[in-house]
Structure 1
Amino acid sequence: MDFWSRLIAGTSLAPGGSRGSSSNPEKRLARFKREYSQLLQTWRGTSNLSRDNEAADEIRGNIQDLMTILSDESRRPLPHPCIVFASSKQIYIPIGKIATTSYNEGIIREGVALFATLIDSEEENFVENDAFSKSLMNLLVRITGANSIRLSSETESEVVELSFNITTKIRLEPEVLPAWFAAQQRDETADGQDAHEKFTGKTQKEDFPLFYLLIDYIHHEGRIGDFARTGLLYIIEAASNSVTLEQWIVESDLATLMATGLGALYSQLSRKLVIDYPPGELPPSLALSDYAHPVETSEIVSSASPDFQSHMETFLSHLVFWQDVLNHCKSVEVKQTLLEHFQVIFLQQLLYPSLLESSDVDGGSSVAVLTYLRRILESLDHPDMIHLILHYLLALPDATPAPSGSRASISAARKRKSMDLATMMAVHIEVESTPALFNLVDLIQASLISESEQTKSVTLQLISVILRRHHKYAVTTLLWTSQLVPDGPQRTIGAYEKEMEFLLELAGSVGGEDNFDEVYENHVQDIMSALESHPCSITLIAPKSAGGTLKFPGSQASIPGAPRDLRPHTLRPEDPMLKKLLEILATFFTNSIETNFALVGVIVDLATCGFMRIEGWLLPEPSKYVYDEEEEDEEDPYLTSLGDAIDIEESAQIRVLRKMQRVPSWKKSKIPTFLTQLNTLIDQIQAYRSTVPRFEELLQQRRDAFSAASSTLATSIPIRHQPALSESSSRSTSPPRKSGFDSLAQRMFPELSTPSRSNSPRGRQSQDQQRSSGSGLSGGYGLATPTNNRQAPTSNTPSRDSSRAFSPSPLRDNEAALRAPGVPASQAAAFAAIDQSILARKVSLPVPNSEMPPIPFPDLRGGSDTVDEAKESKMEEVELEDTVQDADPIEERRMRKEVTISHVLTNVLILQEFVLEIAALVQVRAGLFGEVRFV
């Protein structure tokens, strides 16, 4: 009986004329017997029910009346003679036969409903009755089998829901299980063996038909799949109360069917993929760049395709179901059997071969498999599944397995299952390729130097997920690291202030009119949230018990061979991954927008782990500090001559404080390559500023355009992305904002919905996820942003050489007149056309140690300037050829690549936000992890 039926107990559902008979138990029973007798009479008098529609309708009405009487009686006070009659006469047996042989969906549906009504009555122990269970399962198996009629989704949903209700009874009342499950073959002759070793028979569907019925529906979507998966979880959970059921599940087809089903869903995903966005939903950052929609063919599928998204959602939901099964399973042997099949059938036979066979030159197979792997790692958090995937794909060494549980050896059933699996795999495999020859690290290293921007982008996204969620697996595989001694040199407060001053000055030198203090504060909060939620850092910041370090159950894999706990470490300068990241950073302004966002995410995620020290690769190494000779601190002879012990101790403390406050001088050879590259990028911005007409004005227009898009997205109002907005209109309509760059990262990859670093809508987005923003305190745990000898980036911050190089512009003198009221529309349109002409011009990276010729100011009058510009472009081409003729082919292509000025402007703003985020990272880490030494 359902909840609503109980709630309205005492209310009859029968027609008004039969209310009197319904309230009288004797009359109700007489009516029930009459309906049942008429049902049997009609059935026996019909030779072929599937062809006699009149008889089928009559029988359907009889069953419906019986169900109505039973349902009405169950809501009335005792006695319940109809339910007792149904149990004693076993009316469900003929009704089950009628529904089975009728091939009529109406009769089938009413028959299923009557069985459900009897179970819901919770009387006469129907759910524990062997005859009832056999009759019901015979009906359900027959109507869902291959030879049955095709049932509607509504009827299938009722069938699976009824099956789910039975598993709920089994879960709550373990004594119900024998009525639905009975192993047929057993060896009872072996004395002296425990119950685990006595089970030697092979499983059959007849032993537990309810189990296999649910397995057939676990891949379905909607309510049907939800009921089937949850019901199966309940059965697996019940195995902990039955040794026989546990061993039956081990030898059943559960693990094989789940693994092959997952593999089938993975195989449905397209072999070739391109990352794209639905029409009209292009993020502002891409709309205001050189983004071009990738080519989609019959073989190459777009990630924005509804069919692809549906297949991906189905695959990931089944993958999460695997995780749910392992979480609910309390049997060690069942869990190990599932994991073994997951590794052999899915990892070794499907996922790894797809990685091995992927190529960067066949139209997107590398993009596909790298994207799929990233989505898998983002969707899972079960430590055993994560361990199997990364341990195998990264070719980590195997460990000697330890005895599990109270028994030193696994059961005979488990041994047979493992042997059967190994035999099955040996038949299908002749030569097996293993990650020992080519692993995920090799694929990532090769993809990072790809000429395809999409390949680089998705590779960086995958790296970021591994670093952010599974950092300990990357330490000895993706990264070359060095362990740090506990009492090694530590950064001083003077060095910290120097670093913060350098980074904030870099961000400020980009220029722009914005509330940078508020933008920077947002970055501080974002970084605070990311650091506090990092899985590696929680042991560093969580309060420790009196007994020692913290232990977090469930965070470690139960399978032998998991990486050991992290220790303080840092990147080695020769790390290949770091070198490739710096190479991509060197071409920042000509990279695609997706690549730059993914690159920013990797670098920040690399520095987010609390055990990863950022000195040496991101900041100067403390052991290599160099101070000017005049700053060498000398002992105060006056305090020394006093001779008092307290005074001498105070003198020593003052000297240490002064020593920690000294600012080291940054020698060129001592500065990390990362900071040097950032400095080079800022110099390139100055080169663009000196050659591009109206660079400052166009940059501010771009900033205002993003601000307007961010505000519009926040209020859920559609926006039409324009290549550029006029300075007057954009500034007048842009409301105050938290960050002028929010919408860029928030809308990077809307088609790949995955968990983010936190739940806040504000902040930086890492790859395809929304930027996360924490609710943590700002300011870095008591360590304030340094203010000595530095200037925060504001609208008045000068350029790095204190003199902005404005290119000649006949428009500059007329800007005030353009903003004044009453400007003719034709003049405003002319200025807008000039801006569009400038934005469409293409430029390459500035050539080192050479001056870029200024871009001529566009002349809208047309005519002679076209020939002059062509000549000038040809001269620049010859000059560039002379510059790079001795360079290697890759470097030559890098320098020759051209993008529009509009694309450069967007990347300039991304770089500015990136530098601010690095500054926030340095500040928050210093306070949260105590990385700065004051005394």
Structure 2
Amino acid sequence: MDFWSRLIAGTSLAPGGNKAASNNPEKRLARFKREYSQLLQVWRGTSNLARDYEAADSIRCSLQDLTTILSDESRRPLPHPCIIFSSSKQIYIPIGKIATTSYNEGIIREGVAFFATLIDSEEENFVENDTFSKSLMNLLVRITGANSIRLSSDTEVEVVELSFNITTKIRLDPEILPAWFTSQQRDGSRDDGQDAHEKFTGKTHKEDFPLFYLLIDYIHHEGRIGDFARTGLLYIIEAASNSVPLEQWIVESDLATLMATGLGALYSQLSRKLVIDFPPDELPPILALSDYEHPVTTMEIVSSASLDFQSHMDTFLSHLVFWQDVLNHCKSVEVKQTLLEHFQVIFLQQLLYPSLLESSDHDGGSSVAVLTYLRRILESLDHPDMIHLILHYLLALPDSNPAPTSSRASVSNARKRKSMDLATMMATQIEVVSTPALFNLVDLIQASLQSQSQQTISVTLQLLSVILRRHHRYAVTTLLWTSQVLSEGPQRPIGAHEKEMDFLLGLASDIGGDDNFDEVYENHIRDSTSMLESHPCSTSLIAPKSGGGTSKFPGSQASIPGAPRDIRSHTLRPEDPMLKILLGILGTFFTNSVETNLSLTGAFVDLALCGFMRIDGWLLPDPSKYVYEEDEEDVEDPYVVGLTDPLEIEEKAQLRTLKKMRRTPKWSESQIPAFLTKIQELVDQISAYRTDIPRFDELLQQRREAFQAASSATATPIPIHQPPARTSLESSRSSSPPRKSGFDTLAQRIFPELGTPSRSNSPRGRRSQDQQRSSSGALSGGYGFATPTSSRNQPPQLPISSGTSSRESSRAFSPSPLRDAENTLRRQGVPASQAAAFAAVDQSILARRVGLPPAKNEVTPIPFPNLRDPDASGGKDGSVQGMDEVNVAGDAEREEDQKLVTVSHVLTNVLVLQEFLLELAALVQVRAGLFGEVKFV
């Protein structure tokens, strides 16, 4: 009955006395004082709270009640007598002592909550009170120190969150900084004759700023606690620009040393030996439909698919990005220089470069490891000073360090001397000291590209791509041999451009295929446009000009002396060693691993992305060497003779110039660049494969449809590309709506487990995306046999997602090609026995091992039996028994001469080449329009 009466009256379910006390300030204060007195009485009457559990629980409850009263009062209208009482009586001092000496996590947690409530009330100027700050920091330092009890993760989060809240208030109101930071005067007896900035050299005084060091202890943690610590430290460093004492204190503290050694410790935790691999149930179809084999792992050699490795890598990169955030937030030049000096000496010179120097291609993956780590570092950073330090040192660029002219140079000199002393101490532990002047990153890249390991070549090509794409200005005079282009304006006439486009598209057409080329090529156009526009060097070319005729973008250049000058128009010299090495890898395209080919094609594209890199001379023929069928330059136009009207004469001259620009040059072997010659040789090799390998076109179309089936197996609407077709390729060179494909290039697409960023947001997508096989069972596991279905009846194309379950993935990779092929042929009216025979024959062809076709002057056909001969099948049932034994001896002999791969592997690489040709054509076309590289008049 009491319940109903309260409900009808609209009263609260809480006792009436408690509500009245909460609304009445006097009663609320009386209750607050009573709880506080009880707290002190229990504390004073207990000798050891760590053992007296009843007293500890009573104190915890009292602290909780005090915090609740304060929190409730801060939300009510004035007056707030409890908050005023807490400030006037300084009750936080005994509460801090109780929490400090209790060694009870429950009391500690309630004590931290009590202080947090006072700060959040924003009354009585608690954050500006020296006594309050000392009491709070004494509590926080003691409970997080070495002699304290081990706190739970939740309590630690609350401690660091409270510290972060303090830094937030310091950031909003720098005037409260003196309450938390005090640069105390030291004994000057030993500092006679020293500059004021040098008295602090090499010393650390944590008592001056305990909040600062509390946050440093947690910046390496993951989760919310690490986020609070790092962000709070950023706020303190940002506040240094408004306080000269704090700026000096940070410079002379061991912040830079702790951050650099912490980064080095995380780097040292990474495995020294690494192999790039995928989980068995997440193998991308482009690798599954090739001769991919999972690399061997041991206790020393770690797989990139390992969860432990990925966790260590993410932790290292997150701390590296924190370095970048610190530099971005730091407005003090002195603090920034101190951090960069320590980054270079402790991490770069003593850890990163020695690991590159000691890497080897013969010890099971150390080259793969360090090259991958360097690539991930360059991909994760975009701060110009950090990038400059890394590439300037590793590429052995000349130093340019003028003497500092600032009157406060001694501020950074103190920390520089300490870091150099540390570097000297570490250098004494190394018997042989080498510098990039003797062996730099260029030497390492060139040596690794000539390795016998396909994984080493692949990761090196990816590193090369990152440097070319993101930091091209550093590659111009180091990795590449370039020559400056002095001529202004376009040099390639429209007639030559059209012939070059016909040549590239014609090569793609020669490969063949049954697909819609227009849609494929449109995606390449979009992707090339996005990549070219997003390239760092292209910004000044396509951005609107300022009044002075130039476009300047502050912040993109390093503030450290010695940075490369602004990039100018240049071209790649044909004798460039890097180009020759890449062409050598391109020559063995069909026997290379798929990862290598995808990385290689990505490197060529990245080489041609820079707007200041002229592609004439190394990718396309040199315009200065064009030869035409007949030279009409000096032939006088008969229609001009006799004309007297200046306008008519000018019009006739313009028409003659237009006609001249549309002339088609004649190519000779000496004029065609080595790159196009090598591409032509690869297409000729495909013709040799088509001649010697039975059912080559049918198997190639099945492989294309296999990728289509794999890309349609998911529902994530991210468009990707489809290989081109011969049918529409011959009829159109124009653009159409986009289409998707089942494979992408590797440079940023094939290693999703390392978090490789995308090249662009275009549909072509050099994406870091896992690709899996279709759950419909259309793809086989062994040699990549695919059900020969019609591409016109394919469902809407969708990319391969990594979200497929293990069960679905295992079904998708189940080796069931024979059953699928048989079912398809049955639907086409083929008898069951013949359908099984056809499927078995195709599977056997895909399993055969072949090498590179012979040169034009050699006649060494690929050994295959005549499948049209009834005796070759081994029986009426269509079996292929004895087929593999036909040339076993020949395979063994050829294995010694060259690398042999399966026909299935060759088919996948053929599609990669076709995709690459279309990408090149789109790149040339977009560059011509975006950078005005073609002249019409």
TM over 0.5: yes
SS of residue in 2 equivalent to 1:665: coil
Partners in 1 of 2:218 and 2:291 — Cα distance? 46
Verify: 1:177 aligned to 2:177, yes or no: yes
- Superposition deviation, residue 546 in structure 1: 1.6
Alignment partner of 2:889 out of 871, 874, 878: 874
What does 1:638-717 align with in structure 2 at a 5 Å threshold? 638-715=639-716
Query: Which deviations, in whole Å up to 9, do the C-alpha atoms of 1:250-294 show, x marking residues without a partner?
Result: 000100000000000000000000001123110010010000000
Letter aligned with residue 829 of structure 1? A
* Aligned CA distance change for structure 1 residues 664 and 106 (closer, same or farther; 3 Å): same
Verify: 1:837 aligned to 2:844, yes or no: yes
Partners in 2 of 1:626 and 1:356 — Cα distance? 49
What is residue 36 of structure 2 aligned with on the other side? 36
Letter aligned with residue 455 of structure 2? Q
- Superposition deviation, residue 871 in structure 1: 5.1
Verify: 1:846 aligned to 2:853, yes or no: yes
Partners in 2 of 1:349 and 1:198 — Cα distance? 28
Query: Which deviations, in whole Å up to 9, do the C-alpha atoms of 1:512-550 show, x marking residues without a partner?
Result: 000111101100010000001110011001110121211
Letter aligned with residue 514 of structure 2? E
SS of residue in 2 equivalent to 1:712: coil
What does 1:906-925 align with in structure 2 at a 5 Å threshold? 906-925=908-927
SS of residue in 2 equivalent to 1:231: helix
* Aligned CA distance change for structure 1 residues 77 and 872 (closer, same or farther; 3 Å): closer
> Does the 8 Å CA contact 2:202/2:418 hold for their aligned counterparts?
no
SS of residue in 2 equivalent to 1:536: helix
> Does the 8 Å CA contact 2:200/2:252 hold for their aligned counterparts?
no
What is residue 389 of structure 1 aligned with on the other side? 390
SS of residue in 2 equivalent to 1:708: helix
What is residue 563 of structure 1 aligned with on the other side? 564
SS of residue in 1 equivalent to 2:910: helix
What is residue 375 of structure 2 aligned with on the other side? 374
- Superposition deviation, residue 737 in structure 1: 7.6
> Does the 8 Å CA contact 1:186/1:200 hold for their aligned counterparts?
no
> Does the 8 Å CA contact 2:874/2:882 hold for their aligned counterparts?
no
Partners in 2 of 1:25 and 1:45 — Cα distance? 30
Comparing 828-837 with 325-334, greater Cα deviation is found at: 828-837
SS of residue in 1 equivalent to 2:170: helix
What is residue 20 of structure 1 aligned with on the other side? 20
SS of residue in 2 equivalent to 1:482: strand
Verify: 1:80 aligned to 2:80, yes or no: yes
* Aligned CA distance change for structure 1 residues 649 and 114 (closer, same or farther; 3 Å): same
- Superposition deviation, residue 740 in structure 1: 2.9
Alignment partner of 2:864 out of 855, 879, 895: 855
SS of residue in 2 equivalent to 1:683: helix
- Superposition deviation, residue 854 in structure 1: 4.8
What is residue 253 of structure 1 aligned with on the other side? 254
- Superposition deviation, residue 819 in structure 1: 6.2
Q: Under a length normalisation based on structure 1, what TM-score does the superposition of the two structures give?
A: 0.87
Letter aligned with residue 637 of structure 1? P
What is residue 726 of structure 1 aligned with on the other side? none
Partners in 1 of 2:202 and 2:274 — Cα distance? 46
Where structure 2 has 5 or more consecutive residues not aligned to the other structure, the ranges are 1-10, 719-736, 772-790, 793-817
What is residue 807 of structure 1 aligned with on the other side? none
What is residue 540 of structure 1 aligned with on the other side? 541
What is residue 108 of structure 2 aligned with on the other side? 108
What is residue 511 of structure 2 aligned with on the other side? 510
SS of residue in 2 equivalent to 1:270: coil
- Superposition deviation, residue 608 in structure 1: 0.5
What is residue 929 of structure 2 aligned with on the other side? 927
SS of residue in 2 equivalent to 1:308: helix
What is residue 728 of structure 1 aligned with on the other side? none
Comparing 827-836 with 145-154, greater Cα deviation is found at: 827-836
> Does the 8 Å CA contact 1:706/1:741 hold for their aligned counterparts?
yes
- Superposition deviation, residue 89 in structure 1: 1.2
Letter aligned with residue 221 of structure 2? H
SS of residue in 1 equivalent to 2:280: coil
What is residue 424 of structure 2 aligned with on the other side? 426
> Does the 8 Å CA contact 1:262/1:315 hold for their aligned counterparts?
yes
- Superposition deviation, residue 460 in structure 1: 0.2
> Does the 8 Å CA contact 2:822/2:835 hold for their aligned counterparts?
no
Identity over aligned residues, as a percent? 76
Query: Which deviations, in whole Å up to 9, do the C-alpha atoms of 1:471-503 show, x marking residues without a partner?
Result: 000000000000011248811111101100100
- Superposition deviation, residue 930 in structure 1: 0.7
* Aligned CA distance change for structure 1 residues 292 and 737 (closer, same or farther; 3 Å): farther
SS of residue in 1 equivalent to 2:571: strand
Comparing 211-220 with 692-701, greater Cα deviation is found at: 692-701
What is residue 900 of structure 1 aligned with on the other side? 902
- Superposition deviation, residue 827 in structure 1: 3.6
Alignment partner of 1:759 out of 758, 761, 769: 761
> Does the 8 Å CA contact 2:620/2:676 hold for their aligned counterparts?
yes
> Does the 8 Å CA contact 1:196/1:244 hold for their aligned counterparts?
no
- Superposition deviation, residue 877 in structure 1: 6.2
Comparing 422-431 with 306-315, greater Cα deviation is found at: 422-431
> Does the 8 Å CA contact 1:271/1:365 hold for their aligned counterparts?
yes
> Does the 8 Å CA contact 2:840/2:880 hold for their aligned counterparts?
no
> Does the 8 Å CA contact 2:489/2:933 hold for their aligned counterparts?
no
Query: Which deviations, in whole Å up to 9, do the C-alpha atoms of 1:427-456 show, x marking residues without a partner?
Result: 221353210011111100000000100000
* Aligned CA distance change for structure 1 residues 705 and 871 (closer, same or farther; 3 Å): closer
What is residue 526 of structure 1 aligned with on the other side? 527
Verify: 1:139 aligned to 2:142, yes or no: no
> Does the 8 Å CA contact 2:276/2:303 hold for their aligned counterparts?
yes
* Aligned CA distance change for structure 1 residues 26 and 428 (closer, same or farther; 3 Å): same
SS of residue in 2 equivalent to 1:301: strand
Letter aligned with residue 519 of structure 2? E
What is residue 241 of structure 1 aligned with on the other side? 242
Where structure 1 has 5 or more consecutive residues not aligned to the other structure, the ranges are 1-10, 718-735, 772-793, 796-810, 882-892
- Superposition deviation, residue 853 in structure 1: 3.9
- Superposition deviation, residue 661 in structure 1: 1.1
Aligned length: 850
- Superposition deviation, residue 644 in structure 1: 4.1
* Aligned CA distance change for structure 1 residues 106 and 864 (closer, same or farther; 3 Å): closer
CA RMSD of the aligned region, Å? 2.8
Verify: 1:483 aligned to 2:484, yes or no: yes
> Does the 8 Å CA contact 2:256/2:338 hold for their aligned counterparts?
yes
Q: Under a length normalisation based on structure 2, what TM-score does the superposition of the two structures give?
A: 0.87
* Aligned CA distance change for structure 1 residues 14 and 316 (closer, same or farther; 3 Å): farther
Letter aligned with residue 135 of structure 2? S
Partners in 1 of 2:688 and 2:717 — Cα distance? 38
What does 1:46-445 align with in structure 2 at a 5 Å threshold? 46-185=46-185, 202-401=203-402, 403=404, 408-430=406-428, 432-445=433-446
Partners in 1 of 2:488 and 2:95 — Cα distance? 81
Letter aligned with residue 760 of structure 2? S
> Does the 8 Å CA contact 2:822/2:836 hold for their aligned counterparts?
no
* Aligned CA distance change for structure 1 residues 193 and 551 (closer, same or farther; 3 Å): farther
* Aligned CA distance change for structure 1 residues 327 and 654 (closer, same or farther; 3 Å): same
- Superposition deviation, residue 742 in structure 1: 4.4
SS of residue in 2 equivalent to 1:211: helix
> Does the 8 Å CA contact 2:838/2:878 hold for their aligned counterparts?
no
Partners in 2 of 1:211 and 1:224 — Cα distance? 15
- Superposition deviation, residue 743 in structure 1: 5.8
* Aligned CA distance change for structure 1 residues 498 and 863 (closer, same or farther; 3 Å): closer
* Aligned CA distance change for structure 1 residues 192 and 455 (closer, same or farther; 3 Å): closer
